[in-house]
Amino acid sequence: MKNIKLYLLIILIVANTGLIFAESLTIHISPHRYLNKDKTTIVNLDYQVPYNNLKFVKHKNGYYAELDFNIDIFKSDSLIFQKNIRDNIGITNQFDAQSDKAYLNRVSFILVQGSYLFQIKATDINSKKSATISLPIETLAPDTILSDIELCSVVRPDSSAYLEKFHRGNTLYQSQPSIIFEKRDNPYVYLSFEVYTNESLRQDMGILVLTVQKDSILVFDDMMDYISYNDCERINLTIPLTDLNTGKYNGNIIFQIGELSEERDFEFFVTEPKIQLYYVLINPDDDYKLLKYFISENAPGNWKTYSYDAKRQYVSRCWVKLADANQVSPESFIRTIRERVDYANKHFSHFNNGWTTDIGRIYIRHGEPDDVEKGTTLDNTRFVRKDFQIWKYRSRFNAVYLFLDIQMNGNYKLLYVDGDDRESSNPNYMYYLGEDFDTSLLRN
């Protein structure tokens, strides 16, 4: 039994840390054993595939990947059962395919007493990448008092159909087969398991002991009394991650009741996200002014008290939200805006940087217009002749902008707009253009 457990642990470490070779599919698999009412073993086989390791193909209004999950179960070198699952994985935002999100599923088996070998092959249908994993599994003894430890990223009340297979009653236990917990998204590691007693043990006070170590140093421990009320009860414990450093942790749970004692080991990894800050302009105050070209959100009332880093992080989050709203990656969106800012500064700068001008603002928001008409006002105005430009957009949306060089210094001001609710016309624009201005030029 010890050798089987050791082999299982080695296999799980390989699978759970993603040590699948270059052209292979990265898949995390985690088996959890529980006792059924008739003392047979239920095995929940949870598997998780990162979106960024799957190939998504556009179809109608979404993007889809297909995962073929095949399981062969052997006992005493004989194939006794086969199961094939075809997972259709859909997303609506194509950039989720490059995100840290993952697909999660579960398949369950009931096993009679004995030793088994699960031979698993997972294949991404679109990319043809695959992974093959072997899991030796020993059934639980009928008189065991402790199930396996299931590590979850989420345990919360939930009566919806979301991750239906991971509900027990009206509670969602979202398994984390990767056993990797990012501190930003997971303030706790949730430990979920079952304890098994009988009527003869109801008179005894049980004890649950939880310990967690990092590099053989104790970092967390807890001991609690346990009173049995039912033959089978689910226990949930939490390990707070706030004060834990990144790295690998080894844990142990001991359950003692009466003269019986059992223990289960587990492990998990704590990571911190690499903070990726997105910005166009070095000064976060300027960057926020640039953001205002696209969003209506006001800066926090205490913006002036924010540190440089806090302002940068706030603006970065805004850029990410804006990129998501436009169904593009933050990297692609920032690159496009930077190119437009550089162009505006090169072509529209006079007394001020080109990105701060009216004409620069429209170029940064929409890019190069589909049509530009340049001209000069006629003599029948109250001013000397002035140059104007009419920009028209048709391919992505319909809008018309008229800019006038009022001060004759190259700093064109936006006088008239049609088709853009974020901009407004000067109500007296004809006063500057003259009554004989050909308004048909403003048609798109």
| 3-state DSSP assignment of residue 177 | coil
pLDDT at 297: 73
Residue 2 and residue 131 in one domain: yes
Residue 130 maps to a domain? yes
Residue 357 maps to a domain? no
Backbone angles phi, psi at 414, to 5 degrees: -75, 120
Q: How many domains does the chain have?
A: 4
- Which of 128-132, 157-161, 189-193, 213-217 shows the lowest mean pLDDT across its residues? 157-161
Residue 362 maps to a domain? no
What are the tens digits of pLDDT across the range 258-271? 899 999 999 999 99
Distance CA 78, CA 100 (A): 39
Residue 394 and residue 405 in one domain: yes
User: Exposure string (b/e) for 59-76, b if CB count within 10 Å is 16 or more?
Assistant: eeeebbbbbebbbbbbee
Q: Letter for the amino acid at 178?
A: S
Last residue of a domain, one of 125, 141, 157: 141
Residue 244 and residue 336 in one domain: no
| 3-state DSSP assignment of residue 239 | strand
Last residue of a domain, one of 274, 292, 316: 274
What are the tens digits of pLDDT across the range 50-108? 999 999 998 887 899 999 999 999 999 999 999 999 999 999 877 788 777 899 999 99
Residue 72 maps to a domain? yes
Residues spanned by the domain of 178? 143-274
Residue 33 and residue 129 in one domain: yes
Residue 409 and residue 375 in one domain: yes
Residue 382 maps to a domain? yes
Last residue of a domain, one of 141, 158, 180: 141
| CA end-to-end span of the chain | 79
- The answer to whether residue 4 scores a pLDDT higher than 50 is no
Residue 360 maps to a domain? no
Residue 56 and residue 167 in one domain: no
- The answer to whether residue 300 scores a pLDDT higher than 90 is no
Backbone angles phi, psi at 107, to 5 degrees: -130, 140
Yes or no: say if 413 and 424 are a contact pair by the CB < 8 Å rule: no
Distance CA 250, CA 244 (A): 13
Residue 105 and residue 45 in one domain: yes
- The answer to whether residue 124 scores a pLDDT higher than 80 is yes
Cα–Cα distances in Å, from 16 out to 13, 50, 105? 5, 12, 15
Residue 111 and residue 169 in one domain: no
Residue 409 maps to a domain? yes
Residue 21 and residue 60 in one domain: yes
What are the tens digits of pLDDT across the range 132-180? 999 999 999 999 999 999 999 999 999 998 999 999 999 999 999 999 9
Yes or no: say if 50 and 100 are a contact pair by the CB < 8 Å rule: yes
Residue 115 and residue 84 in one domain: yes
CATH number, position 251: 2.60.40.10
pLDDT at 6: 36
Residue 353 maps to a domain? no
pTM for the model: 0.66
